[in-house]
Every structure is written in structure tokens, then in C-alpha cells.
Amino acid sequence: MKLELGYIHINDIQFGPESKVQGDVLYVNKDEVRAMLLEDETIASVDIEIAKPGDSIRITPVKDVIEPRVKVEGKGGVFPGIISKVETVGSGRTNVLKGAAVVTTGKIVGFQEGIIDMTGPGADYTPFSKLNNLVLVIEPVEGIKQHAHEHATRMAGLKTADYLGKLAKSIEAEEVKTYETYSVTEGLKKMPDLPRVAYVLMLQSQGLLHDTYVYGVDAKQSLSTLICPTELMDGAIVSGNCVSACDKNTTYHHLNNPVIEDLFEKHGKELNFVGVIITNENVYLADKERSSNWAAKLAEFLGVDGVIISQEGFGNPDTDLIMNCKKIEAKGIKTVIITDEYAGQDGASQSLADADVSADAVVTGGNANVVIKLPPMDKVIGHPEVANKIAGGWDGSLKEDGSIEAELQVITGATNELGFNRLSAR
């Protein structure tokens, strides 16, 4: 499967009478977007704001971040099974509005959403401070249940990203990158001497607002399966979860999965990137056993020499991570796992909730318990008071002057376990 990504670099975002991409500026007609979103009868009101790199703006509580993309050639459309029809995506050409994003906010659960600071020390920890963000402040109708609220917010984000992406449909991209994976036999013939590597991508699927969708299917109801890496680039995997902000994989992360990018970088040169095994992180022990058995079996079935395993979330999913690692190593396949740590505010505690000697190659995204200070911002988009309640905050985290003292956990994407960032710990 071969996909070309056409990058259209966006360096500014502005409101205007007409939604369009002109040069490196993304213009958005606010009313048009609002009218589109208000078609959903579960949404009472939508506020649309802009947050650019360097702005003295804090966005909270953040639910998801989505990159606008559009299919230019090839089958299907972005976010198949949700926004577009269930056609297999991942081939042809897709245009990307690089540097732009849609950020959704909403007090859905109250403790499972995060913070994005566009400037200051907090900005260093989140990749989304470097983007030109269109922020949707979504208020649901009275009396709505959290699950329906989550659904409404998720759909609003995806719809808006799709709407913005379509503005770039007929633009000739200035930069094009090609990604190609081969069938198992083709790959063997083309790269007989290179080590064969797969990527085991663990998807948050604990349920009850901790869900991820693959082609519209709730990942907790699926067995571990295979997916072509380029399918993710067209939005085959979508985040639908509210978990601790620092190590949840937003839709933006799935679209720009860094393990996939970096494996492609060495593909055909130092390794043969065979494909992606997706597996879930369900709560029942039987599910954990079954899913990890299947992940290991699929890795063996593909006959790979090594795998990279990435995690989402912490605590309970540490068990899934260690099961996957242990069972794949037991098949004689070498593993590297990517996780993050909860070593306490002083860094002295045990970092993971599970461990095994076979996990001897670990990459860490840092200690999420570390306390950070976020200075006040000129403007807050959303609800600043959630800082006292969100995972990583405590009663009194939000100070009178608007500054926040809390654990790194509160920052969206800070200790990402796909290895999206440079943050680490020793």
C-alpha cells in the first residue's frame, strides 16, 4: 500500500468572511463552522476561538486535538467509518494542513481533560503549543449524559477537521512524502537481508469514556488485528477518550504516529517495516490475556525479528504492556517498549504498576508526577477552575492570580507513550 502525503504548511490562522487556505494562512468563517456544529441537537452552544504559538492563552479542559486532512486521490475519505464511508484508506494521496489543528474542549468528566498553554513553561511540554489552533468550546444541552456529551464533542472535532481539510483539496502541496509498505512476500524479496520489524500499537479501550475507534469500531470489542501503517495517516484510528491528559493519544497523535514515521525513515535501509498490530487495553483479565496472546501470535505469524510496543495510559494498562512484552519476547522476538512513569512527586517511587525481566529495553516519556508551575495567561479559553479537579491537580492548584501548580499529568500530550516528544527521565 502506497500513500503520498502532501504537506501544505500553515503558519497563521485567522477568522474571515470565507473559509479558505491562501498561501500559508488558514481563514475560517466562524459562522459557517458554528452553524455546521449546531446541526447536532445535543449541542447547545459553540464558541470558536483561535490560539496561536506564542499567544498568552491557556486552553482547558482539552479533550482532543485533530489535524485537518483531505483525500486528494485514492479510495475513501478521512476518518473512515465515522465521517467518511467505510472504504479502506491509506493509498493514493492525502493533503495535510501541517501546522494547523482543531482543539475540542468540554467539561465532560471533569478530571480527565487537560491543559494546553500556548506560551511559557507549560508550552515546552505540549506539542500543540506549536500549532495554529482552532478551538471549539462546546456546551451541551442541559441534562445530557457524559457519554452523549463525549460523542457530541468527538464528532464536532472530526467534522470541523474534515471541513478545514477539504479547503486544501485542490491545492498543490509544496512538499510531498511517500510511504509504502509491501505485502509479506514482496517485502521478503525486496529486502532479504534486513531485519523484519512490526509495530504493536496498544489502544486505550478500558471503556466508559476510555475508548478508541478503528474505522468506527469500538476497539474494546475487537480482537487484536493487523492494519497498514498508512491507514492511520488517513484517520483510520480516532481517539474517543477522556483519560489523564499527559499520556493519552489524541487523534492528532494517531494521524502523526511518530513510531510509524520513524520506522518508515529506516524502511528499506536498516529494517523492513512489515506492518502494525493493533491491540486493545481492556479491563477484564480474560480480555488482557486474550488480546496479548493474539498480539504475540500475530507477531509470530508475520515472522518478524523485532517489535516496538507503545502504550496508552498508565496503571491498569501497564499490565497489558508487560503481558504483550513478555509473550512476544517468549516467542523469540525482540521488543522495545515505550511507556511513561509515575514515580511520585519526588521521583523516588516505583514507576510502573507491573514489571518483568524480559522488558529490558524501555523508552520512557518522563515522570508524570513531577510538579510544575504554570504562570497566569492573559486569556483562558474554557474553564480554568477544572485545574483543581483534573488528574494531576489538587484542591488549590489554581491560584488567585490565575497561575497553576500541578503535576505534569495535567498537560495534554506531555509524557506521550508513542514517543512523540523529547521528554524523558533517568
Partner 1 sequence: MSKLKVVHYINQFFANIGGEEKADYQPELRDGFVGPGMAFNTAFGEEAEIVATVICGDSYFNENLDTAKKTVLDMIKSKSPDLVICGPAFNAGRYGVACGTVAAAVKEELGVPVITGMYKENPGADMFKAKVYIASTKNSAAGMRDAVKIMAPLALKVAKGEKIGASAEEGYIPNGIRVNFFEKERGSKRAVNMLLAKLAGKEYVTEFPMPDFDRVTPNPAVKDISKAKIALVTSGGIVPKGNPDHIESSSASHYGKYDIEGVTDLTAATYETAHGGYDPVYANDDADRVLPVDVMREFEKEGRIGSLHRYFYTTTGNGTAVASAKKFAAEYAQELKNDGVDAVILTST
Give the residue, chosen from 120, 207, 268, 375, that forms a contact with partner 1 under the rule CB under 8 A. Answer: 207
Read off the amino acid at residue 84: S
Active site residue 242: yes
Residue 197: beta bridge partners?
273, 306
> How many CB atoms neighbour CB 269 within 10 A?
9
The DSSP line for 100-139 is EEEEEE--SSSSS-EEEESSSGGGGG-GGGGSEEEEEEEE
Window 63 to 92, contacts with partner 1 (CB under 8 A): none
Q: Which three cell numbers stand for residue 159?
A: 467534522
> Per CB under 8 A, does 424 bind partner 1?
yes
Window 11 to 30, contacts with partner 1 (CB under 8 A): none
Tell me how many degrees the CA angle 40-204-106 measures, rounded to the nearest 5. 35
Give the residue, chosen from 78, 308, 374, 398, that forms a contact with partner 1 under the rule CB under 8 A. Answer: 308
Give the residue, chosen from 398, 407, 411, 413, that forms a contact with partner 1 under the rule CB under 8 A. Answer: 407
Q: Which three cell numbers stand for residue 315?
A: 496503571
What is d(CA 260, CA 249) in angstroms, rounded to the nearest whole number?
Answer: 14
> Per CB under 8 A, does 274 bind partner 1?
no
Residue 20 Cβ vs partner 1, minimum distance, rounded to whole Å: 33
> How many CB atoms neighbour CB 29 within 10 A?
16
> Per CB under 8 A, does 233 bind partner 1?
no
Under 8 Å between Cβ of 295 and 324: yes
Under 8 Å between Cβ of 248 and 115: no
The catalytic position among 228, 242, 246, 325 is: 242
Question: Which of 224, 416 has the CB closer to partner 1?
Answer: 416
Residue 286 Cβ vs partner 1, minimum distance, rounded to whole Å: 17
Question: Which of 166, 334 has the CB closer to partner 1?
Answer: 334
Residue 170 Cβ vs partner 1, minimum distance, rounded to whole Å: 33
> Per CB under 8 A, does 426 bind partner 1?
yes
Residue 126 Cβ vs partner 1, minimum distance, rounded to whole Å: 13
Under 8 Å between Cβ of 10 and 21: yes
Residue 393 Cβ vs partner 1, minimum distance, rounded to whole Å: 7
Q: Which stretch binds partner 1 (CB under 8 A): 44-52, 89-97, 180-188, 263-271?
A: 263-271
What is d(CA 324, CA 345) in angstroms, rounded to the nearest whole number?
Answer: 28
Residue 305 Cβ vs partner 1, minimum distance, rounded to whole Å: 6
Binding-residue total with partner 1 (CB under 8 A): 88
> Per CB under 8 A, does 422 bind partner 1?
yes
What is d(CA 352, CA 387) in angstroms, rounded to the nearest whole number?
Answer: 25
Give the residue, chosen from 18, 73, 175, 270, that forms a contact with partner 1 under the rule CB under 8 A. Answer: 270
Under 8 Å between Cβ of 414 and 388: no
Window 368 to 397, contacts with partner 1 (CB under 8 A): 368-370, 389-395
Window 314 to 373, contacts with partner 1 (CB under 8 A): 314-316, 334-336, 338-339, 341-357, 359-370
Under 8 Å between Cβ of 369 and 344: yes
Question: Which of 66, 245 has the CB closer to partner 1?
Answer: 245
- In the three-class reduction of DSSP (H, G, I as helix; E, B as strand; rest coil), residue 402 is classed as coil
Taking the CA atoms of residue 284, residue 285, residue 291 and residue 296 in that order, the dihedral angle to the nearest 10 degrees is: 160
Read off the amino acid at residue 79: F
Q: Which three cell numbers stand for residue 59?
A: 486552553
> Per CB under 8 A, does 112 bind partner 1?
yes
> Per CB under 8 A, does 244 bind partner 1?
yes
Question: Which of 215, 342 has the CB closer to partner 1?
Answer: 342
Give the residue, chosen from 25, 148, 188, 209, that forms a contact with partner 1 under the rule CB under 8 A. Answer: 209
Under 8 Å between Cβ of 218 and 211: yes
C-alpha Rg value of the chain to the nearest Å:
21
> Per CB under 8 A, does 111 bind partner 1?
yes
Residue 417 Cβ vs partner 1, minimum distance, rounded to whole Å: 8
The residues that are catalytic are 242
